[in-house]
Every structure is written in structure tokens, then in C-alpha cells.
Structure 1
Amino acid sequence: MPSSQTNPTELPRFGWPIERKLEPRQPKSLTKAGVSLHAAGDPPLIVRGCRESSQSTRAFCLWITFEDQLSKYAPKGWGPPPDSPTPPPFSIQPISGCGRGMVANKTIKTGEIIVVERPIVVHPATTTMILHHPNGMWGHLEDIYEQHFQLLGEKEQSLYMDLWNCKPVTGTLGNQLVGIARTNGLYSGFTRTKHTPHYAGVYPKISRCNHSCGPNADAKFDEEKMAMTLIAQRTIPAGDQVTIGYTNLEAPYSARQDDLNTKYIFTCACKHCKPSKPSRPSRPLKHPYWCFPNQTTGEHVDLKAEIDASDVRRDQISHRLAGARELWADWLSPSSRQSDRDLLQFHEDALVIIAQEGLEWTRILDIAYLAHACAALEDEGGFRRWGTMLMSISGTQGDEGKSQMKTWQDWVREPKTSPAWGLRVQARGRTEGTPSRKGKAWHISFT
């Protein structure tokens, strides 16, 4: 017979960023997206000239897409360009061995917005290629680009043609246009589709950013405004390059190098791939998960040993959240033997390793866990500290982002309104046989 009592091991709904908004069921990988397109009968590509309003005479972007997208986005125009910092905190400068890149003109603080801009072109990251096209597998896309490129204004065309092309050149305009798109495209997702959410956009300034396997900036796309926001993930001193990642940064060294060499024809020589000094954590690690042999001990650089240790750390980072969910559920169980310090140390050590590898863009979930852990312990100061840090680095944009920030601002202002407030204290009370506090029937589903 079902019990009317709340299961004390059930967890609360924490919302963003631990609990993400459920998106429509869509293929998660490019390979699965290609299979899905083929199963849908290879829907044709169409071109939409994106304008600020229905009265605008000039397109600011060519959006190569599928017909099902047209009625779902900005039917009356995309509106004026989103605000971007003025003057910009960067300039585009020549970089030795790397063409041109984005360089900080001043110190850019963690969480600071560097630039917000719209793409010049957007196309699906995967399409059903026409294999027998006389110009090869990319020939159909080349034809589309060549036929419609003139819809853009002269300024947009000039900015686009000035970007680097690392792909083979045949001499046709379409080949050159697609080569630039394949070289400079950044992930730009559109979720309201039955085909594929995976798109690539080319941006006038953000596409100038060079690669690092420990980038200091991250780009977030807002599909409602057709705009990309570049956000500093750690402090960027004046004169330093602003860098982003071109590949899966949690992958091992060899996989990253193979991918970069195949797609962009270069070998990465950033400090994470060719360290000039031994890499060390900023403080000793204490949690057993992170104490797996992942550090070198020599005083001189042993390149192979450094790369192997870095690979271990990145693998730990990529798998840590499954462990985090288990730790959290156990910690809130009345039968838990886990100490408070153990849970906190897991995420504090994670932040140390993440910083060591330059993967700060992955840390927001660890910070959220730390904030909620402090709430569960009824530690107002700790909750406010971690909650404020989370808000400062989120860079969340759009109406949904404003709602997320409003929720966290309310919690930080009044920590006792947090859904996690007192949960660890209550679990201890149940363990010790003391009455637990009355509260809501909590439930959580981690995604």
C-alpha cells in the first residue's frame, strides 16, 4: 500500500543550472542528425535573409535552414542588434603564427561580456550531401551560398570575405564561401525544429578568436535574438589573446590534436599541449576522487608525463557529475555516513582541477552544488558567497536567463527560501531520532 509520507531520501527541485530545461527530443550528435535527416526524406535547404524588421531592405545574415524553421523564429524580424560593450574591450590584431586574433585592450574580468554580435551566415552543421554533385560532397551547399550571397550588404560581404579559409580552394566563389564557413563556424543551436538543432554561424569578431585547449572565454548563442555573446571565463590581462575552444576540450590530447589537424590544419601548441613548466594544482587535493595519480612530481617538464596527467584530469572532469549526483543523494540520506567536509571537498577540489586545466566554463555546476550544500547546512554566508559567484559567471542572456537570475537573486537575498534549505540538518535529525522540520514534499530529477 503506497505511503502518504514523504520519502526522506527524495531530493528537491533545484532548477537551473543543475536541472536543465527539457528540450524537444532531437538527435544529440551530428551523425544521428544526419541519419534523422535521411529518414525524413532529405528535406531541401532554403535560404532566409534575416532582417531587423519586415520593412528592412538589407539582410544582416543569410540563414540556410529547413522549411520547418521559418514560422518559428522572428516572423516580423529579429529586432535591432543586442547591446554590446562600448568601447569594445578588445582589438583584432596580427598574431605571430596564427593570422589575426582578438586581443584584450584592458583587463577583462571573470564573467564580463566581451562582445555581443549577430552572425553573417548560418547553415546546418550537418546536411544530406549530394554525393554525385560535380563539385563534390559540398557542391550543393556551395551552389546555395554562391546564389544568395549578394543578399547581404557590402559591409557584411566584406567582413565575411576577410576571414581565413583553411579549406582546399578550387577558384569558384561558392567554394570560397563554404570554405570560410567551415573554417570559422561556431556552434549556434536552434531547438524548435523536427530535423536538427545543430547549426554553425560565422561571426565578424568572435570568429576571429584563436583556439586554446584551456580557453579564457566562452561563446553562448541566443536563438531568440540570433546573437552570440562572448563571456570571459577568467580574468584576461590587457595584451593577452581572447581564446575559445574549437574541439571537445575534455577529450585527451591525441584526440584533440587529430580533430584540430583534420578540421583546421594546425597542431595546437597552447600551454596545455606544450607546457613550458610542470603543471601544479593551486593547493593540495583532499578528496579521494581527485587523488587518483593525475599530477607529475618532477621539477623539469617531461612532456609525455605532463600530457598523460592532463588526460587523466580531463577525464576526471568529464565524469565527475555522475559521482556528484551519487554523493549528493547519499549525503541527504538519513543513513549516510558521509561527512559534510567530504561533499564540500569534492566540489572545491573540482574547482582547483578545472582551473588547472583551464576549463572554467565547466565549473558552474560545482558552484551550484556548493551553494545548495551550504543551504542544506543552513549556512547563510556560504550560500550567499557561492550563489553570488554563480550569478557573476553565468553570462545568462535572454528572457529565460533573466528569470533564472531573478530566482537566484531571491534565494541569495533570503537563503531560507532556497529549496535546499536545512535538508542536511533535517536528515541528521531523522538519524538521531529527533523530529524533522515540516516542509514541502521534495523531488528532483537531475539532467
Structure 2
Amino acid sequence: MCLILLFLIFVSLLPTSLASSDSPSTQALIQQCWHEYPLTTALFQSSQNGEHDIVFQLNGLIQSTVHSTQDSRESSARSNYGPWTHQPACTKVLQSIGSNLCVYTNSSFSNGRGISIFTTPTLANQFAALPAFMDPAALDGVNTFSGAWYTETLPGKGVAMLAKKKLKFGDRVTAYTPALIAYLEDELDTIEREKYWRIAISQLPEDTRNGYLSLAYIYGQENIRVQDIVKANTFQLDIGGQNHLAVFPETSRLNHACSPNAQYHLDPSLLTHFVAVTRPISPNEEITISYTSPLEPTEIRQQHLQSGFHFSCTCPRCSAKRTTDKTIQQIQTLQKSLNDWSATSSGSPKLAEKLIQLYRKEGLEGFLDVPYGFAALAYNAVGDAKRAEKYAQQAREIILMKDGKWTPNMQLWSELLRDPRAHWSYGRRKR
């Protein structure tokens, strides 16, 4: 899970070139956080007096889509659509983006898993140039069952992902590419968007298509089912500086927890969603990720989950609101002290160790890169390079799970690890 607030804690410590909000890498990190750009309910509204007509039109569309897909497959041998196995189906030019949007499908992608992308022609070329398309070996180990999980319906939660065996820190749970990627826009009306997204789903291989259509949804309106599934299961992916929505059928089975036992990140070059274990998980225990920032106060977390996912969280942290919010305030106070590099700063290794303990108390092992980072700086500041290296390395391990190797925070700790004694923080504070 990408957390903008946690990233910004360290912005003041970054070189100017990285701290700038205009930095491409910084923008990429921010835009990875799809939860900051939730779909609005308005996208799925339709007029009451036209509802039956809409349903009729879409029922007809499903049939015509199947025929057009079959026709496309039959003609694929006669036509060349580059890396795409179907002739792109395009909208008119949209004024808001100055381009049309088209459905691009490659049904043989990743050994027959398939993928459909609804995007501009220019961005489609950028997708096609990614290692995920250009280098078959790039997806080795991806879209392969890890043997670590199974799904089961849980009371009050629907389908959930549970551990098939004992899992330890760092174990990979899943690594999958999306079935659908869609350009994030708000100009098309609901029915027009549904038409093209249904074409995208209909052109996928049967197993992938069925996996998508079996996912949970929010509103339960059949006439907008494809969009409804996106609303309930989407992650945000940045390609070419443009936000896209991505649905990964397998990883969509991961439910939310405010103290998750797994962490994820998206690799844009591989179009892959990786999930790894952040603390020991017992057999038959549910595997969870966080849908929102777990360091926000309880009320804000609840509002986000209710508005974005239409459920109220009843986890132990949410149930113990007063205790949880008090701990969050303590965390914020400690982080402020540790980030104070003035002559009167109270920042110290002792405060950093306490911060680590508070994160663990809240079950936030998947977000320990922040306190580990503060600990690395705090120990380096008093000349303890050995412990500084230890915590910088641990911060890197969590960042790889949470943000991926391309995040600016990775550069921060790599710089310290290269030579702690040459780092700007070395010896900055008295023991």
C-alpha cells in the first residue's frame, strides 16, 4: 500500500531534486495511490425513466459483442493489429483529453492469461513497449499459483483469501497481472463507458473473463456490472503520467484490515501486483491488506472505507477508537521529534525504538519502513553506524514490499548504506 503521508515525512530529508513535487519519480509514487482518486458514485448513476431501455440496450450489446469478438478472431489472421489480437474498438475524440479511447486486447498475453486495456492510441503504444509485453521472461513466476492461499466465503466478508500453510515474513502470496486496465476519465456517460468496458471483458480468454465477472460489486445493477466490479476491486496504475484503473481478479480476494498481515505494491513496467507477508500467518488465517492509510485517525479511516467501499470496519483497532487514536497521536509526536534536526532536538535512538514498538503494537509491520528509517538516522546521528546500517536495510526491505524498488525512499536508504559515515546525518547529534 502506498501512503502519501508516510512518504511526505521524509521529503524534507531528500535532496532538492527529489523533494520537488515536480519530480517524475515523486509524482509516480503519489499517483500509485489509487485510494486518493476513488471512483465517484456519479459514474454509475442512470436516469430512472430510462433504466429499462438501458438494460435492453446492454442486453443486446452483450450478444453483439460476442459476435463482434468472434468475427474479430476470425479476421485476426487477415489483419495485423500490432501486439493486439483484436481490432481496437474506439470512441469518438473526447474533448477533455484530446484523443479517442480504444479497447486493446491481447488474448495471448502472459501464456494465454490475456489482458484488455482501454486507453488512448498513444498510451497503447507505451503499454506495448513495456517489458511485460516485450520480454516474455520478464513475467517468469507471475500469474502462477504460489500454493500459499485458498479462497473461502467468510460470514460478513464474502469471499476471502486464507493461508494454505504457515507463512513467514517476506513470503510471496500472489503476483498477478490485471484482466482489465482502463483510462481514468469522466467524460463518457455511464452507458457508453459500460459498452466499451464490456467489449474489453468479452475479448478475454474464458478463464480470465469468468474470474473477472465472479468478483464482488457494490450496487448490484446488472446494466453496469463491469463498472460496478471496477468500483469494488480497482487499484490505480500510472502509465505515461496518466492514471489508469486496474482490476486483478485473484488479488481482489484480499479483504481489508487496519492491521494487515500482508503488504502490496504495483510494478508499472511489469503491470504486476505483488503481495508479500509482513508478519507470521498461521494456516487457515485470513490474509489481509489495508485499503486506506492505517495511520489516519479512526473516524477518517471509517469515512474513507464507507465512501470508497461502502462498508464499516469493525476490526479491533476501529473498535478501540480511543486507544487507537491516542497511539496515532503518540506516533505523530515521536515522528515530529525525530524529524527535528535543530540544536535543541530531542530526537534520539531511544525515541526511534519507542516508535518501532508503537507501530508493532498497532499491527503495522507492513509500514515499518518509516520508524526503521527514523531509527537508521537516529543511530547514525550519534555515530552508531552499525545499527544505522541495520535499520536502513530493514527499511529497504519494507519499501520493496510497499512501494517497489523505484520509489525515491529507496534512494534515501541506499545512500546511507553506501557509506554511513559520509552521510549527512552522521554525528549530527550528541549521544
TM-score (norm 2): 0.69
User: Residue 243 of structure 1 aligns with which residue?
Assistant: 288
Pairing partner for 1:46 from 80, 94, 102? 102
Aligned to 2:193: 141
How many angstroms does 1:386 deviate by? 1.4
Change (3 A) 1:162 1:216: same
CA offsets 1:385-405 (integer angstroms, 9 cap, x no match): 213322433335999559997
| DSSP-derived class of the 2:318 partner | coil
User: Against the structure 1 CA distance between its residues 32 and 150, is the aligned structure 2 distance closer, same or farther, given a 3 Å change threshold?
Assistant: closer
One-letter amino acid matched to 2:399? S
- Could you tell me which residue of structure 1 aligns to residue 322 of structure 2? 308
1:357-407 alpha-carbon deviations (Å, 9 max, x no partner):
233333212212212332333323312321332243333599955999799
1:92 is displaced (CA, Å) by 1.5
Contact 1:351/1:363, CA 8 A, preserved across alignment: yes
**Map of 1:224-243 to 2, 5 A cutoff?**
224-243=269-288
Distance 2:260 2:401 in 1: 19
What CA distance in whole angstroms lies between the structure 1 residues aligned with 2:356 and 2:19? 16
Once the two structures are superposed, residues 306-327 of structure 1 have per-residue CA deviations (whole angstroms, 9 ceiling, x without a partner) of 31332343355468655543x1
* Aligned with residue 237 of structure 2, among 175, 179, 189: 189
Residue 92 of structure 1 corresponds to 151
Q: CA deviation at 1:87?
A: 4.0
Distance 2:204 2:426 in 1: 57
Partner Cα separation in structure 1 for residue 111 and residue 359 of structure 2: 47
Q: Is residue 129–residue 140 contact of structure 1 (8 Å, CA) maintained in 2?
A: no
Q: Secondary structure at the match of 1:188?
A: strand
CA distance in 2, matches of 1:112, 1:346: 30
Change (3 A) 1:207 1:308: same
For 2:45, the equivalent position in structure 1 comes to none
TM-score normalised to the size of structure 1? 0.67
Give the distance between the partners of 2:430 and 2:328, measured in 1 at CA: 35
| Deviation for aligned residue 1:39 | 8.7
What secondary structure is seen at the aligned counterpart in 2 of 1:230?
A: strand
Letter in 2 for 1:148: A
Alpha-carbon deviation of 1:120? 0.9
Which of 166, 179, 190 is the matching residue for 2:218? 166
Q: Secondary structure at the match of 1:94?
A: strand
Kept in 2, the 8 Å contact 1:45–1:67? The answer is yes
Instruction: Tell me the equivalent position of 1:366.
Output: 371
Question: Are the aligned partners of 2:352 and 2:378 in contact in 1 as well (CA < 8 Å)?
Answer: no
1:350 aligns with 2:408: no
Match of 1:213 among 248, 258, 261: 258
Residue identity matched to 1:235: P
The answer (yes or no) to whether the contact 1:383–1:415 under 8 Å persists in 2 is no
| RMSD value, Cα | 4.2
Corresponding residue of 1:435: none
Unaligned runs of 5+ in 1: 1-10, 275-305, 331-335, 430-447
Q: Percent identity?
A: 18
Q: Distance in 1 between matches of 2:108 and 2:135?
A: 4
Give the letter aligned to residue 75 of structure 1.
A
1:423 aligns with 2:427: yes
Q: What letter matches 1:308 in structure 2?
A: R
Contact 1:60 1:153 in 2 (8 A): yes
Tell me if structure 1 keeps the 8 A contact 2:236–2:245.
Answer: yes
Tell me whether 1:23 sits opposite 2:35 in the alignment.
no
8 Å contact kept, 2:178–2:271: yes
Give the partner amino acid of 1:423. Answer: G
Aligned residue for 1:272, secondary structure, equals: helix
Q: Specify the alignment match of 1:65 in structure 2.
A: 119
Q: CA distance change for structure 1 residues 314 and 68 in 2, over 3 Å: closer, same or farther?
A: farther
SS of aligned partner of 2:166: coil
> Relative to structure 1, is the Cα distance of residues 154 and 314 closer, same or farther in structure 2, using a 3 angstrom cutoff?
same
Distance 1:374 1:395 in 2: 22
Equivalent residues of 1:14, 1:419 under 8 A apart: no
Seen in structure 2, the aligned counterparts of structure 1 residues 51 and 409 have a Cα distance that, compared at 3 Å, is farther
Paired with 1:157 and 1:183, the residues of 2 have a C-alpha distance of 17
Match of 1:285 in 2: none
The answer as to whether partners of 1:184 and 1:202 remain within 8 angstroms in 2 is yes
Shift of 1:225: 0.5
1:247-289 residue CA offsets vs partner (Å, 9 max, x unmatched): 3433333333343334433322212123xxxxxxxxxxxxxxx
3-state SS of 2:238 partner: coil
CA distance in 1, matches of 2:20, 2:377: 13
C-alpha distance in 2, partners of 1:86/1:57? 14
Partner Cα distance (1:103, 1:322) in 2:
38
Q: Deviations over 1:127-184 (max 9, x none)?
A: 2144xx4xxxx32321111223222111111111221222231x33xx2221112111
Distance in 2 between residues matched to 1:394 and 1:362, nearest whole Å: 8
Q: 1:180 is aligned with what amino acid?
A: I
Partner of 1:128: 186
| Structure 1: distance between partners of 2:39 and 2:164 | 42
| Greater helix proportion | 2
Equivalent-residue separation in structure 1 for 2:387 and 2:364 (angstroms):
24
SS in 1 for 2:317: coil
Seen in structure 2, the aligned counterparts of structure 1 residues 52 and 314 have a Cα distance that, compared at 3 Å, is farther
Task: Give structure 2 stretches of 5+ with no counterpart.
Answer: 1-11, 43-93
Looking at structure 1, the residues matched to 314 and 39 of structure 2 have their Cα atoms a distance apart, in angstroms, of 32
Question: Using a 3 Å threshold, how does the CA distance of structure 1 residues 168 and 360 change in structure 2: closer, same or farther?
Answer: same
Partner of 1:293: none
Q: CA deviation at 1:16?
A: 13
With CA pairs under 8 Å and 6+ residues apart, which has the higher RCO, 1 or 2?
1
Conservation of the 8 A alpha-carbon contact between 1:372 and 1:420: no
8 Å contact from structure 1 (residues 107, 238) kept in 2: yes
User: Of the two, which has the highest radius of gyration?
Assistant: 1
Code of the residue aligned with 1:22 in structure 2: it is S
1:180 to 229, 238, 241: 229
Aligned residues: 358
Secondary structure in 1 aligned to 2:182? strand
Are 2:129 and 1:75 aligned? yes
Amino acid in structure 2 at the alignment position of 1:211: H
Q: Secondary structure at the match of 1:106?
A: coil
